[in-house]
Amino acid sequence: MADITKEINRRRTFAIISHPDAGKTTLTEKFLLYGGAINLAGSVKGKATARHAVSDWMEIEKERGISVTSSVLQFEYDNYCINILDTPGHQDFSEDTYRTLMAADSAVMVIDASKGVEAQTRKLFKVCAMRHIPIFTFINKMDRDARDTFDLLDEVEKELGIATCPVNWPIGSGKGFKGVYDREKNEVLTFSDTEKGTREGHTEIISMEDEQKLTDFIGDAAKEKLQEELELLEGAGAEFDLDEVRAGDLTPVFFGSALTNFGVEVFLQHFLEMAMPPRPRKADTGEIDPLTNDFSAFVFKIQANMNKAHRDRVAFMRICSGKYDATMNVKHIQSGREMRLSQPQQIMADERKILTEAYAGDIIGVFDPGLFSIGDTITLPGKNFRYEGIPTFAPEHFARVRQVDTMKRKQFVKGITQIAQEGAIQIFQEFNTGLEEIIVGVVGVLQFEVLQYRLQSEYNVEIKLEKLPYEYIRWIENGPEIDLAHLTGTSDMKKIKDLKDQPLLLFVNEWSIGMTLDRNKDLKLSEFGRGNM
């Protein structure tokens, strides 16, 4: 037991949220470098290989040269066992990216210092905020011209609604970037752009008391500006409070440059100290303590066809409590079946490592004979609780799906419902008809291609997609109380229903959502659909 507690407490499981090109991959690579990275080569989609991903899990990956799947990287640093959940962010942004956040205990938010808060960061942040997980901000690319520091912090606070507390403070940016001031230690870490990619930099540490040395290194002008900014900050900034950080109400902010390896290790060290080990997770019987002996997990992602030769599906689960070992019997709560998880593995980008044991906080991928659904709970035999379900996230792209050959109706319905069950797409119907008119919603447009490709290659069904103009979907929270027939929306609003006959509304823009809410005072809309338990 002591061992289990120790193992679990040294785990830090997190996701990196950012907009494409903010530097997530570069930062991850630097983390791995400090960890003496197992598997460094090829484990992160390094820039050189990013457009030619190594995976052969799906034909489409090869064709597009991107990774449709997300994975986890595990490495050790300073006696911590770190799990970084990969959150695909480029064209492969999908509902899985959101679901991955349900398996994280905290998040690192990477922001490009010249751009500030961008669209994808905003979306991913919302999901983290819903879960109240701690968020740590790394403002990257300080070696390029950056926006004013106060403006950046202000934007994070206003746009995302989270208080900020800078742990260090940048001195200049771009060609004039001199380093960062460490507020706790009252010293300056100087920047030098000579150690790209290497571990040891030539950072000098200068105490603020050592005025002469400071002037020599950063110059009078930068020193004066720093002092002015620090005075302003004392009056304006939030005080550091670890409880608020852990409640997700305050984000510690760090400045650096992932590419030149500046400020990354300091960030990692602070992050590991401040972020928490796996926390208790909500189940229908109350919270489940991760530090018990009893293994439990939930499925947060299902990946089909990772190996085309075997047509297999892999269910990714996050271990929530206890220890898993490959010889144990487990119970799949939703089916009531007892079983051994087959081929438990940790998926490292292109490589699969067979696992013999894993602990709360870890992610394992197991072979799925078509039994698991997203949100399912796995426990020890004899237990009978269910973890809180994973919400359905709002798709942003919609299309009407038509079969080319209407004779293949059965395969079509089978294929499309199967793919929806895996969670790659969501399917809806016209409000007043059945499955003859299908509307598909996806988070990332690539999923349309995945759908088309998979229906063709696995079910031999050819489809045509007719894109619809809607970008926003809302679940009606108080459905039974609302008289849908008389709901007065805007002229471009569309009523649809999901496969469980739950009503939903599609909108072209946010303005329409506002108008509809104005016109129907009792209506309650939600951006998240309720997950299955």
Which residues lie near ligand G4P (CB under 6 A)? 18, 20-26, 47, 140-141, 143-144, 257-259
In the complex, the smallest distance separating the C-beta of residue 367 from ligand G4P, rounded to whole angstroms, is 30
Give all strands (DSSP E) within 179-295, no chain letters: 179-182, 187-190, 205-207, 250-255, 281-283, 286-288
Our CB check for ligand G4P shows the closer of 23 and 361 to be 23
**HSE-up (13 A, CA, CB side) for residue 395:** 26
Which residues are within 8 A (CB) of 144 and not within 5 positions of it... i.e. 6 or more apart? 113, 114, 173, 174
In the complex, the smallest distance separating the C-beta of residue 262 from ligand G4P, rounded to whole angstroms, is 8
Our CB check for ligand G4P shows the closer of 48 and 407 to be 48
Number of Cβ atoms within 10 Å of the Cβ of 185: 12
Our CB check for ligand G4P shows the closer of 35 and 278 to be 35
Structure tokens that stand for 442 in this block: 């996806």
In the complex, the smallest distance separating the C-beta of residue 18 from ligand G4P, rounded to whole angstroms, is 5
Our CB check for ligand G4P shows the closer of 67 and 74 to be 67
In the complex, the smallest distance separating the C-beta of residue 20 from ligand G4P, rounded to whole angstroms, is 4
**HSE-up (13 A, CA, CB side) for residue 426:** 28
The closest alpha carbon to 325, from 302, 347, 293, belongs to 293
User: Tokens 């990619």 identify what position?
Assistant: 197
Residue 524 in contact with residue 480, Cβ under 8 Å? Answer: no
In the complex, the smallest distance separating the C-beta of residue 21 from ligand G4P, rounded to whole angstroms, is 4
Our CB check for ligand G4P shows the closer of 23 and 441 to be 23
In the complex, the smallest distance separating the C-beta of residue 47 from ligand G4P, rounded to whole angstroms, is 3
In the complex, the smallest distance separating the C-beta of residue 44 from ligand G4P, rounded to whole angstroms, is 9
Our CB check for ligand G4P shows the closer of 44 and 288 to be 44
Which residues are within 8 A (CB) of 504 and not within 5 positions of it... i.e. 6 or more apart? 428, 473, 474, 475, 476, 495, 496, 497, 498
Our CB check for ligand G4P shows the closer of 143 and 244 to be 143
In the complex, the smallest distance separating the C-beta of residue 157 from ligand G4P, rounded to whole angstroms, is 22
Instruction: Output DSSP code: residue 92.
Output: T
In the complex, the smallest distance separating the C-beta of residue 23 from ligand G4P, rounded to whole angstroms, is 3
- Residue 395's identity, in one-letter code, is P
In the complex, the smallest distance separating the C-beta of residue 24 from ligand G4P, rounded to whole angstroms, is 3
Rounded Cα distance, 113 and 142, in Å: 6
The closest alpha carbon to 397, from 95, 132, 147, belongs to 95
In the complex, the smallest distance separating the C-beta of residue 266 from ligand G4P, rounded to whole angstroms, is 14
Our CB check for ligand G4P shows the closer of 264 and 399 to be 264
Our CB check for ligand G4P shows the closer of 193 and 312 to be 193
Residue 375 in contact with residue 334, Cβ under 8 Å? Answer: no
According to DSSP, the residues that pair with 302 across neighbouring strands are 315
Our CB check for ligand G4P shows the closer of 111 and 394 to be 111
Cα separations (Å) of 345 from 11, 312, 315, 328?
A: 18, 14, 10, 15
The 3 state secondary structure assigned to 13-57 is EEEEEECCCCCHHHHHHHHHHHCCCCCHHHHCCCHHHHCCCCCCC
- Give the β-pairing of 426-430 and 494-498: antiparallel
The closest alpha carbon to 33, from 244, 146, 201, belongs to 201
User: At 368, phi and psi to the nearest 5?
Assistant: -115, 115
- Return the SS3 of 306: coil
Residue 429 in contact with residue 406, Cβ under 8 Å? Answer: no
In the complex, the smallest distance separating the C-beta of residue 28 from ligand G4P, rounded to whole angstroms, is 8
Please list, residue by residue across 353-392, b when 16 or more beta carbons sit within 10 angstroms of its beta carbon and e when fewer do: eebeebbbbbbbbbbbeeebbbbbbbbbeebeebbebbbb
